Amino acid sequence: MIETEALQFRTAQGTTYVIQCDHPECCDDLELIKKDLGISDVKSTRYIEDNARRVLLVEA
């Protein structure tokens, strides 16, 4: 099992988690990510490319 590691930013609108997708399967299972981060509600998700890496932004 791969543990989810994320940077966490708190704003007035909520919390944004920045997750580097170093392993292909680490960003594919949103339910696993929610469980690992201890969150229940997700407002939005989106992928961005950071050089050659894929990064997932999760807004909760």
Identity at 51, one-letter amino acid code: N
Entry pTM: 0.81
Backbone dihedral region for residue 42 (phi beyond 0: left; psi -120 to 50: alpha; all else: beta):
beta
Strands 14-20 and 53-59: antiparallel
Beta carbons of 53 and 21 less than 8 angstroms apart: yes
- What confidence tens digit (pLDDT) does each residue in 14-58 have? 999 999 887 767 788 889 889 988 999 999 999 998 788 889 999
Backbone dihedral region for residue 35 (phi beyond 0: left; psi -120 to 50: alpha; all else: beta):
alpha
- Neighbouring CB atoms inside 10 A of 19's CB total 21
